[in-house]
Amino acid sequence: QQNELNSFLWTIKRDPPSYFFGTIHVPYTRVWDFIPENSKKAFQQSHIVYFELDLTDPYTISALTSCQLLPHGENLQDVLPRDIYRRLKRHLEYVKLMMPSWMTPDQRGKGLYADYLFNAIAGNWERKRPVWVMLMVNSLTEVDIKSRGVPVLDLFLAQEAERLRKQTGAVEKVEEQCHPLNGLNFSQV
């Protein structure tokens, strides 16, 4: 029952009330039907909405892309053991080959092409830090490819907030997310 679901919504008792809602970075269509009405109502009634990052800001996207790169023009081939690099390269070749069969008719109808999608996800992979390549590889599955083009929950809510002319902001800067991941050593990754 919808009213029995855990809402991931916390109320901060003040006048007017504030709410804290825990999201997950998956396509919103995977979770939207399971978000309880009290959470949706709190969002609708809000005037100001803050997100983890401002995913509608081009600077945020650019900074996220930049922070993933290896320093000083290094390449992944320079930092990964040769056997892991070769396996990774073969796997990405396999994904690129399979991607057309993984795409949905709806994606094709919206003008998404497998080569474009592959490059959007894996482009410049040889310049990325290992931790970001690991996260990229984890998202290169058939299920994830079929949901590409559907915004993740955070982005969907940010787009809705903009559409509803709510004031928006972010509680973190890109660097606050990027530096901890970039600080992991190779064995941790």
| Helix/strand/coil (H/E/C) assignment for every residue in the chain | CHHHCCCCEEEECCCCCEEEECCCCCEHHHHHHHCCHHHHHHHHHCCEEEECCCCCCHHHHHHHHHHCECHHHCCHHHHCCHHHHHHHHHHHHHHHHHHHHHCCHHHHHCCCCHHHHHHHHHCCHHHECHHHHHHHHHCCCHHHHHCCCCCEHHHHHHHHHHHCCCEEEECCCHHHHHHHHHCCCCCCC
- The structure's pTM equals 0.79
| Peptide bond preceding 17 in cis form (omega within 30 of 0) | no
- Cβ neighbours of residue 127 closer than 8 Å, sequence gap 6 or more: 69, 70, 74, 75, 76
Domain locations along the chain: 9-183
Give the pLDDT band (50/70/90) at residue 3. Answer: low
The tens digit of pLDDT for each residue in 31-78 reads 898 888 888 999 999 999 999 999 888 999 999 999 999 998 899 999
CA distance 108 to 68: 29
pLDDT of res. 185: 82
Contact 167, 54 (CB under 8 A): no
Could you identify the residue written with the tokens 């994830």? Answer: 144
Length of the chain: 189
pLDDT of res. 9: 82
The tens digit of pLDDT for each residue in 90-139 reads 999 999 999 999 999 998 888 888 999 999 899 999 999 999 999 999 98
Could you identify the residue written with the tokens 């009213």? Answer: 3
Q: How many CA atoms lie within 13 A of 159 on its CB side?
A: 8
Q: How, if at all, do strands 18-21 and 9-12 pair?
A: antiparallel
